[in-house]
Amino acid sequence: MESIKKNDKGTHALIYRYNKNRTVFEKALISENIDYVVYGGVRLLERKHVKDALSFLMVYLNRRDVVGYNRILTLLPGIGTKTAKRLIKTNMDDISHLKGQKHVLVQKVKDILDFDGDKTELFDTICTFYFSMYENIESDYYTKEEIADDFKLVRDLLVTFDSLENFIINIILDPVVDLKKGKNPKVVLTTIHSAKGLEFDHVYYFHTHDWYKNYDLETLEEDRRLFYVGISRAKEQLYVFDHTELKRSFEDILRDFDTLPIVETPTAADSDFSLMKENKEEISKIDNSNKDKETDKKHTTEGNVIRVNFNRNR
């Protein structure tokens, strides 16, 4: 995050293979109040289910938030805009006109808005209630597991604030730091596939490599190709975040693509090892992949992060 703030005039891309890796980046960016866009997706705080949950928190603090009030009431099955308006007008003091399931659900909303307890307990209660209605609000874009992961991320952010009021003010109400300063976004979260054909001044590549998937050469080749696509998006600076807890050099990471794991299985054919050696050689040419790039040949390793600097030839 410090690199992004320090180099606010350049473009930054956080590249990962799987969308599940995005959450750790989003949490950090939101915590640091840094604006960003998601290629091929929607930012955390702009996703419908997250806005639904946050609306409960905002109405909990301010019953005059008519927009949020209407949002949470119309989530309930059988409650339309007209009924919601009537309930908001009386602050749900009288719900005797509602029958059956409608009455039960509105009473639960009342209980949430009258909740007396810790902010995280309040949010947990909201999430539980939300999932109790999942059949009626099921998303076409997100699975139940993805929604749960997003709620967990919001909860993790909430815990870092000393009060619910400060969380709402800093995360939701206050504008984030504007690093765009123009038409093109300055900070991008993207999968490898969405980053194809694009270049950024600074690239932060999240390297994942699962050996158990790579017993066949075709899968190994696909991993190698995607790795090459990801790291070659960088114009000036490349950071490779290694998935292992070991301190490895850039050359060590390249060996992920030319060595099969040592397991008690039939030995791979010599031809297979020969082909994997050729794969590594192609990646190793990253320094000369573009005519206007030349690496300084000094890969800096800090923990499980490897930094590669590029010097542009003019």
**255-272: per-residue pLDDT in tens?**
766 654 443 333 333 333
Tell me the pLDDT of the chain averaged across its residues.
78
Non-local (6+) Cβ contacts of 259 within 8 A are 276
Whole-number Å distance between alpha carbons of 254 and 235 = 20
Q: What's the first-to-final CA gap in the chain, in angstroms?
A: 29
User: With helix as H, strand as E and coil as C, how does 81-98 read?
Assistant: HHHHHHHHHCCCCCCCCC
Residue 308 in contact with residue 295, Cβ under 8 Å? yes
Residue 41 in contact with residue 146, Cβ under 8 Å? no
Q: What is the pLDDT of residues 46-89, one digit of tens each?
A: 899 999 999 999 999 999 999 999 999 999 999 999 999 999 99
Does residue 309 have a pLDDT over 70? Answer: no
Handedness of CA 144, 148, 154, 155 (dihedral sign): positive
Residue 22 in contact with residue 16, Cβ under 8 Å? yes
Q: What is the pLDDT of residues 271-306, one digit of tens each?
A: 333 333 444 444 444 444 444 444 444 555 555 566
Percent of the chain with pLDDT strictly greater than 90: 38
User: Which has more confidence, 181 or 251?
Assistant: 251
Q: What is the pLDDT of residues 195-217, one digit of tens each?
A: 888 899 999 988 776 544 545 66
User: b/e per residue, 21-33, with b = 16+ CB within 10 A?
Assistant: bbbebbbebbeee
Whole-number Å distance between alpha carbons of 25 and 286 = 25
Q: What is the pLDDT of residues 111-160, one digit of tens each?
A: 999 999 999 999 999 999 999 998 888 777 888 999 999 999 999 999 99
Non-local (6+) Cβ contacts of 54 within 8 A are 45, 154, 172
Q: What is the pLDDT of residues 2-56, one digit of tens each?
A: 888 888 788 999 998 877 777 778 888 888 888 888 887 788 888 999 999 999 9
Task: Say what the pLDDT of residue 304 is.
Answer: 56
Task: Say what the pLDDT of residue 136 is.
Answer: 81
Percent of the chain with pLDDT strictly greater than 70: 73
Residue 227 in tokens: 């790795």
User: Which has more confidence, 279 or 223?
Assistant: 223
Which of helix, strand or coil describes residue 14? strand
Whole-number Å distance between alpha carbons of 221 and 279 = 7
Whole-number Å distance between alpha carbons of 22 and 189 = 7
Residue 295 in contact with residue 287, Cβ under 8 Å? yes
